[in-house]
A and B are shown apart, each in its own frame.
Chain A
């Protein structure tokens, strides 16, 4: 239906830091300009914009800042980090349906220097969602880490996974980040001892299970595949783009159904991605798996069909998710190692992998999967040549 109709023709980003020293509006403007320059498309051709609902820069503001053309498409996706791939899906839908020709996707956050996602969640007052949030946070279960910790404790009990297993995720991420000049932890791999002894956040999650808090912005330019072939860069085809939410699920507070492990949302996405693209897990040469919390990569790998339920702890052993392994994961270092731009920097890495320009380049890469946040209504992409 939409497979291969659109391509990511440009990517742009600011530096990633702990204090950008400038506004989110400025960061977004810089990233968008960089993405347009990368694509070789002028701002006046931009006729669509999409971002996540939590972004503090409206589509109109960005369009005004960059000197965009007349707009025929503007859209936002909810549920925080679950939305990054869905933002690209929106752009793909717009382009594939003929509603827009050049759609910019962006996300800019001074999350480290201005506001921090690691603190207690507060739902908007007088919303039904805020009501449900308050129902949970009044008991002192109120940070994303604590909420995910409850899910992952159940995963550990169900499948026998331990912190030693979770360590494999973080150590691989930090190994990749250590090679990546854009990463906060460039030059700084992590040892098992350092991982195990890091400060506890919400049992079983410790500091190095958690993604960073970062300042920075990332932008993408989506056009038709035909247009992308005429532009500067090797086209990165969007082979699949999907959203997914389990029945009756509650974002981050999905404690009431059969399964509280963050699985179903991702499974619904991956089923669609494989169906849309005609590909299977074995066709993925690498994967960018969302790591707001590294341990969630285990159920996400299972939900994406890379291994059976409960077997991710074995799948990630022995370097299998590192460069050179069977399925390199988060080759940029992930959000644990590179930076946390709400999933958008992971999409940019996937684009580089398809182009062949990544720092930790996987040889002969044809297809790469990207997943968005676990435990929330989520999304995913398959990008390829």
Chain B
């Protein structure tokens, strides 16, 4: 991605390999999202990418109707997923039928191409 800084590059590269990666602190092992420069808990600048299982539940969501969003067919369900590793991630929920989207719904990651780049969304578990 043209905007990608060093903190985010690993994440987008992971998507190209079909992996959902998060930063794990090298010193205290806590996993964090969104990517950032250092560990909020212990202050370490060292981290390793760790691969998420891709399983989680819907924590919250919306269905976007208006205005038009370039590259998305509307209405578009999108929201926050609580991954089983304890960290949350924002993603499209359009692997599900809109009528099936609800808080606490079990979901699983799907790696897709979105608007010409490697991305991901969630669908039924």
Contact = CB atoms under 8 A, between A and B. Distances in A.
Q: Do A and B bind each other?
A: yes
Interface stretch (A151-159, A173-181, A214-222, A376-384): A151-159
A13 interface: no
A307 interface: no
A250 B80 CA distance: 14
Interface string B52-76: 0000000111111111011110011
B28 interface: no
Contact of B78 (A130, A131, A146): A146
Interface in A137-162: 138-143, 146, 149-151, 153-154, 157
A141 B34 contact: no
Contacts of B121: 139
Contacts of A202: 62-66
A250 B78 contact: no
Contact of A143 (B4, B63, B64): B64
Given A139-B121, A141-B78, A134 B61 contact: no
Interface of B: 1-5, 7-8, 11, 33-35, 40, 59-67, 69-72, 75-76, 78-80, 87-88, 90-92, 103, 114, 117, 119, 121
Question: Which of B1, B2, B67, B121: most chain A Cβ within 10 A?
Answer: B67
A318 interface: no
Interface residues on A, range: 35 or more
Given A131-B8, A146-B78, A256-B34, A203 B3 contact: no
A118 interface: yes
Given A141-B90, A153-B103, A134 B1 contact: yes
Contacts of A149: 62
B61 A153 contact: yes
A255 B88 contact: yes
B3 A126 contact: yes
Nearest to B11: A135
B65 A255 contact: no
Contact of A157 (B11, B60, B66): B60
Given A141-B78, A146-B78, A260-B80, A131 B62 contact: no
A248 B40 contact: yes
Instruction: Kindly list the 8 A-B residue pairs having the minimum CB-CB distance in the complex, ordered from nearest.
Output: A149-B62, A154-B60, A203-B63, A140-B72, A141-B78, A255-B80, A202-B62, A200-B65
Question: Which of B34, B62, B66, B88: most chain A Cβ within 10 A?
Answer: B62
B66 A200 contact: yes
A132 interface: yes
A130 B63 CA distance: 23
